[in-house]
Amino acid sequence: MISTSHLSRTFRAPGGEEVRAVRGIDLSVAREETVAVLGPNGAGKSTLMRMLSTLLPPTGGTARVAGFDVRTQAPQVRERIGYVGQGHGAGHAQRAVDEVVTQGRIHGLDRAAARARAAELLAALGLERLARRRTQAMSGGQRRRLDLAIGLVHLPELLFLDEPTTGLDPQNRDNLWEHIIGMRRRGGTTVVFSTHYLEEADRRADRIVVVDHGRVIADGTPAQLKQRHAGDRLTLETADPASAERLRGLVAAMDGVGTVTRRGAVVTGRAADGRAALPSAIVAARDQGITVVAADTRLPTLDDVFLELTGRSLRDVGEDPATGAEERGGPVTGVKDREGPTTCAEDREGPTTCAEDRGGPATGVEGGDRVPGQAA
Ligand SMILES: Nc1ncnc2c1ncn2[C@@H]1O[C@H](COP(=O)(O)OP(=O)(O)OP(=O)(O)O)[C@@H](O)[C@H]1O
Please write the tens of the pLDDT for every residue from 181-202: 887 887 788 999 999 888 899 9
Residues above pLDDT 90, as percent of the chain: 45
Instruction: Determine the average pLDDT of the residues in 302-308.
Output: 81
The percent of the chain in helix, strand and coil, each rounded to the nearest 5, is 35, 30, 35
Averaged confidence pLDDT in the chain: 80
The Å distance, Cα 170 to ligand 1 centre, comes to: 27
Say whether pLDDT at 206 is over 90.
yes
Four-CA torsion 195, 200, 201, 206, nearest 10 degrees:
-130
Q: What is the pLDDT of residue 115?
A: 94
Q: What is the pLDDT of residue 286?
A: 95
Q: Which residue has the higher pLDDT, 316 or 239?
A: 239
Tens of pLDDT, residue by residue over 234-251, are 999 999 999 999 999 999
Say whether pLDDT at 177 is over 90.
no
At 220, the pLDDT band (50, 70, 90 cuts) reads: very high
For ligand 1, residues with CB inside 6 Å are 11, 13, 19, 21, 39, 41-47, 338, 358-359
- Alpha-carbon distance of 365 to 78, in angstroms, equals 13
- Mutational pocket test of ligand 1: of 9, 45, 59, 195, the residue with most ligand atoms within 8 Å of the beta carbon: 45
pTM here is 0.74
- Alpha-carbon distance of 251 to 263, in angstroms, equals 14
Ligand 1 atom with the smallest distance to the CA of 12 is 4
Q: Which residue has the higher pLDDT, 205 or 170?
A: 205
Q: Which residue has the higher pLDDT, 178 or 72?
A: 72
Tens of pLDDT, residue by residue over 35-90, are 999 998 899 999 999 999 999 999 999 999 999 999 999 999 998 998 988 766 65
Question: Closest residue (by CA) to atom 26 of ligand 1?
Answer: 41
Say whether pLDDT at 163 is over 60.
yes
- Alpha-carbon distance of 145 to 324, in angstroms, equals 14
Q: Which residue has the higher pLDDT, 130 or 167?
A: 130
Tens of pLDDT, residue by residue over 249-262, are 999 999 988 889 99
- Alpha-carbon distance of 179 to 113, in angstroms, equals 18
- Mutational pocket test of ligand 1: of 7, 10, 11, 332, the residue with most ligand atoms within 8 Å of the beta carbon: 11
Q: What is the 3-state secondary structure (H, E, C) of 27-41?
A: EEECCCCEEEEECCC
Q: Which residue has the higher pLDDT, 358 or 23?
A: 23
Buried b (16+ CB within 10 A) or exposed e, 99-134: bbbbbbbbbebeeeebbebbeebbebbbbeebbeee
At 167, the pLDDT band (50, 70, 90 cuts) reads: confident
Phi and psi based region of residue 227 (left: phi greater than 0; alpha: psi -120 to 50; beta: remaining): alpha
- Alpha-carbon distance of 85 to 51, in angstroms, equals 12
Domains annotated for the chain, with CATH where assigned, are 2-225+316-362 (3.40.50.300), 231-299 (3.30.70.2470)
CA distances from 137 to 90, 132, 143, 267, 324 (A): 12, 11, 9, 53, 20
Q: What is the pLDDT of residue 92?
A: 58
Say whether 79 sits in a helix, a strand or coil.
helix
Tens of pLDDT, residue by residue over 78-125, are 989 989 887 666 565 689 999 999 989 988 899 999 999 999 999 988
**Is this prediction's ipTM beyond 0.95?**
yes
